[in-house]
Amino acid sequence: MIEIPRYVIDASVVLRLLQDGAQPSPDHQLVAPTLVRSEVLDALYRSVRTGVLAEEDALVRLGRFSEMKIRYLGDKVLRRRAWSVAAQLGWESTGAAEYIALTQLQADAFVTLDRGLAAEAGRIVATAPISAIL
């Protein structure tokens, strides 16, 4: 049986895929913590409020986001692991730690466009560039 590579993606990756109109490879499984939904919604809304995107364009992207094949997870095991990751890395909050925790629990690598986060995450999980999921 062939294992399908599984990648955790964060909001920065989702937003880039939506911006570029890119489709992730069907040969990979994408997973994300449930919080990515709120982060993407917030980023699109802020882009409209600041004049970066027209509302119509943002709503089209939001619709495409709803159609993306991403498995969302947010159970108590993930929350507890995120707490531990944030404590281990000395972070003030647990948001980004959810991505790393999910990678530890469910994925082969974490994909983010945030270089600082990738460097921090790389201390305890495998990371991959966005090209890995295309």
Within 1-134, where are the H helices?
A: 11-20, 35-49, 55-67, 76-89, 95-106, 115-121
Between the CA of residue 11 and those of 20, 37, 88, 91, 96, what are the distances in Å?
A: 14, 8, 23, 19, 10
Look up the CATH number of domain 6-129: 3.40.50.1010
Please give the chain's pLDDT, 134 residues, in tens.
678 999 999 999 999 999 999 999 999 999 999 999 999 999 999 999 999 999 999 999 999 999 999 999 999 999 999 999 999 999 999 999 999 999 999 999 999 999 999 999 999 999 999 999 99
Q: Where are the domains of the chain?
A: 6-129
